[in-house]
Structure 1
Amino acid sequence: MTTRIRRRTAVAALAALALLAAPAVTAQALSRPAPAASTAVPAGLPRPTGPYAVGADVLHLTDRSRTDPWVPGAGDRELMVSVHYPARAGGPGVPAPYMSAKEAEALLAGRGLGDDAPARTSSLGTHARTGADTARGRFPLVLLSPGFGNPRATLTSLAEDLASRGYVVASVDHAHESMGTAFPGGRILTCAACDAVEAAPDEAAERKVLKTVSTGRASDLSFVLDRLTGSRPVWKNARMIDRRRVAVAGHSIGGSAAASTMFTDARVDAGVNMDGTFFDPVPRPGVGDRPFLMLGTTSFHHPGGEDDSWDKGWQRLGGWKRWLGVEGSGHSSFTDVPVLEDRMEVTLDPTVTLSTDRQVRITRDYVSAFFDQHLRGRHQPLLDGPTPGNPEVVFSRP
């Protein structure tokens, strides 16, 4: 188990575009051309599938009740949040950037991807507009937490798609837990938490650090929820949010944080863990009768598999639940990494057999179906069992 923990969460795994590809990646692999079956280099993220246009805002939040756990000398805990929301078609607004050039440079520095790599990453096209007019109505809120070392930008495709389907989505960058996040004043904060994991002398110490990440992110997410739905919200369009319908989802340790948030915050109605070990074990009675979705690989997360936290977590989840494995997927299949691989013309995880389109489509369809069913009360047959159109999706522990 120790080797897999380190491959999937520690700094060694971040060497691949700093984007948590599951297997170790060599310099030769990073420079390897894309497989022959790949399509033309994409200009942007896949188009959202919902009926709404998408708007985007960026918020800088400071929790003055907590000191940063990784760099105490930095003072209060800081967060950067991207809010994607249903918008009106046309009207004002300019295309939202995928990430800043400085963030891309921090992510890719020293990775041997060429001088143009940061520009190619930061210029990836999005479908959201900053300053877009809001759509009419009130919409459920989804909080998103990225994988360890990953910036919030790596969940942009999912965030845009959910917003297009009628959700307000707040994606959170947790300070000092990403390889590169831009903060006001030109600051680029790097991953001090990664250094703490790397310095852990053994697996037990490493798990302790990662549990701290998971529970700390739960505090971050609850704080963001406070600031978006409280009596004096920080977001100018907060009136769009239906505070009675709130969910949280995350990738990798962000998925663990999603569960941690549900353990401690009764305002959260539903949660999704995308291929993340439960470093904060699901307690009894867990999340009570609230629904929870576990969506991940079949190579690592499967009944009786290498990560026993899913077996234990499943047994303690008391409400509606699904454990879905995606055959042919990899750890980063549930993020924008497949699109970035195509963009950079590299292969980070040669074990992945699904096309980029299938990886993106499966993640979007099943996550949105889960939220539609549990935040909107619309029954989704997709979640009832295997379907002919999705042969890769395996229902475990029915």
Structure 2
Amino acid sequence: MMTSRHGGRAVAVLLALTATLAAGGAVTAAPPAVPALALPAPTGPHPVGTTWLHLTDHDRPDPWRPERPRELMVSLWYPAATGAGRPAPYTTAGVSAKIVEAEGLPLPPDVLTTVRTHARRDVPVRPNRHGWPLVLLSPGFSLSRESLTGLAEDLASRGYLVAGLDHPYEARGVEFPDGRVVDCLACDEWGPDTAAKVIAGRTADASFLLDRLTGPRPVWRGFVDRDRVAMVGHSIGGASAVRGLAVEPRLDAAADLDGTLFTPTGTDEPVLLVGADRPADHSWLRDWPAFTGWKRWLTVAGSGHMSFTDRPVLGAQLGIDPGPIPADRQLLLTREYVAAFLDRHLRSRPAPLLDGPHPAYPEVTFR
């Protein structure tokens, strides 16, 4: 997995605050109390709803706990029929406490439960004749599914059904409905073969989720367009998205947000690579010729590894310098380019952002 090019102190502080720093920077004076935390509002026309699913694959042992079947926690974000309802929590107190504890810094254990989101929990889905295009989201290594909430809410507001996966034992904390909060076993086992194991497991997680969402007895019958499906991921989640595109025929496109491609992969389906501001990743150079269909490789000047998650926004609100790019703009860039990619390949809509450099976004260069 790629790591940030910026200093370890700033990265460690933001990990404890909300998981990891985006582009980096020095810690400013510690605030006397945790300020109000909030994500930027979604930009699409639809109000956003969300619900959580607990799914068990009884046919597959967990790769990290083989004595147990593989269990997944999934957040679904979707265009809602109403803007009323209870605000959705960002994450649970148990997961928040695990993230804070992992770094051992003096912060309220429930700090992440205070983040204000823009989705309403368990409200009705807005009807759509053919169902909504489906986007699977896979977070980075050691991160859990809430780390991509800002992107997920925005995509849902634009008319996508977004399924954010937690991959148990690969995140600081994943909480199940019975109150179990499981730790990151993979974090303690990282070695030469771990990345391949993680990617294989996440690809299987994505396929199982597609079985449950688009199969013969789907859990969301009538709301999913099974013919328009993409996967987007950050870090090793991005590598898993590209690998999934190569091996899972139900996926139509994949976007990798700054994730090293540990497993050599080729495909003739659409691929978007979005990278942080650093020398070119060797694995992207290696696999670029093997992407034989539509493809784009974008680099965001002034960005870091976590710039494509919620972390810059929340870190800035906690007093951490986000680096050369303002925090909200880092999330805006991710939202705009991922949405343009999905609009083009799931909806056949024009996406001029992907045709070349755009004056509104001078930070983004095309390789």
CA contact (8 A) 2:140 2:236 kept: yes
Aligned to 1:97: 89
CA distance in 1, matches of 2:23, 2:339: 28
2:150 to 145, 157, 171: 157
1:169 to 159, 162, 167: 162
Report the alpha carbon displacement of residue 56 of structure 1 after superposing the two structures with TM.
0.3
Q: How does 1:343-382 map to 2 (within 5 A)?
A: 343-347=317-321, 352-382=323-353
Note closer, same or farther for the CA distance 1:265–1:71 as it changes in structure 2 (3 Å cut).
same
**1:184 partner SS:** coil
**1:171 partner SS:** strand
Q: Does residue 1:248 correspond to 2:244, yes or no? A: no
CA distance in 1, matches of 2:162, 2:47: 14
Aligned to 2:59: 65
CA contact (8 A) 1:20 1:331 kept: no
| 2:263 partner letter | D
| 1:162 partner letter | L
Q: How does 1:43-192 map to 2 (within 5 A)?
A: 43-73=37-67, 75-91=68-84, 93-109=85-101, 111-116=103-108, 118-137=109-128, 138-192=131-185
Note closer, same or farther for the CA distance 1:94–1:32 as it changes in structure 2 (3 Å cut).
same
CA contact (8 A) 1:274 1:294 kept: yes
CA contact (8 A) 2:23 2:306 kept: no
Aligned to 2:215: 230
1:388 to 355, 359, 364: 359
Report the alpha carbon displacement of residue 340 of structure 1 after superposing the two structures with TM.
1.9
**1:72 partner SS:** coil
CA contact (8 A) 2:23 2:324 kept: no
Count residues with an aligned counterpart: 358
Note closer, same or farther for the CA distance 1:323–1:32 as it changes in structure 2 (3 Å cut).
same
CA distance in 2, matches of 1:377, 1:84: 22
| 2:332 partner letter | R
CA distance in 2, matches of 1:20, 1:131: 29
Report the alpha carbon displacement of residue 231 of structure 1 after superposing the two structures with TM.
1.4
**2:83 partner SS:** coil
2:249 to 258, 266, 269: 266
CA distance in 2, matches of 1:224, 1:211: 20
CA distance in 2, matches of 1:344, 1:105: 17
Report the alpha carbon displacement of residue 21 of structure 1 after superposing the two structures with TM.
4.3
| 1:355 partner letter | P
- State the Cα deviation string for residues 264-317 of structure 1 (Å, max 9, x = none): 1111000000000001111xxx222x11100111314x3xxxx21011121110
CA contact (8 A) 1:14 1:149 kept: no
Aligned to 1:33: 29
Report the alpha carbon displacement of residue 260 of structure 1 after superposing the two structures with TM.
1.2
Which structure has more relative contact order (CA 8 Å, sep 6+)? It is 2
Report the alpha carbon displacement of residue 151 of structure 1 after superposing the two structures with TM.
0.6
**1:325 partner SS:** strand
Note closer, same or farther for the CA distance 1:34–1:374 as it changes in structure 2 (3 Å cut).
farther
| 2:141 partner letter | F
CA distance in 2, matches of 1:189, 1:168: 27
**1:239 partner SS:** coil
Report the alpha carbon displacement of residue 358 of structure 1 after superposing the two structures with TM.
1.2
CA contact (8 A) 1:121 1:340 kept: no
Note closer, same or farther for the CA distance 1:287–1:68 as it changes in structure 2 (3 Å cut).
same
Report the alpha carbon displacement of residue 41 of structure 1 after superposing the two structures with TM.
5.1
CA distance in 2, matches of 1:119, 1:60: 22
CA distance in 2, matches of 1:24, 1:327: 13
Q: What root-mean-square deviation, in Å, do the aligned CA atoms of Structure 1 and Structure 2 show?
A: 2.5
**1:94 partner SS:** coil
CA contact (8 A) 2:239 2:262 kept: yes
CA contact (8 A) 1:20 1:147 kept: no
Report the alpha carbon displacement of residue 82 of structure 1 after superposing the two structures with TM.
0.1
Aligned to 2:240: 257
**1:106 partner SS:** helix
| 2:262 partner letter | F
Report the alpha carbon displacement of residue 16 of structure 1 after superposing the two structures with TM.
4.8
Aligned to 1:293: 272
| 1:105 partner letter | A
CA distance in 1, matches of 2:12, 2:168: 17
CA distance in 2, matches of 1:110, 1:80: 21
Could you state the TM-score of these two structures normalised by the residue count of structure 2? 0.91
| 2:255 partner letter | V
- State the Cα deviation string for residues 221-252 of structure 1 (Å, max 9, x = none): 111011011111224xx311110000000000
CA contact (8 A) 1:215 1:280 kept: no
CA distance in 2, matches of 1:395, 1:34: 38
**1:223 partner SS:** helix
Report the alpha carbon displacement of residue 42 of structure 1 after superposing the two structures with TM.
5.2
Aligned to 1:17: 15
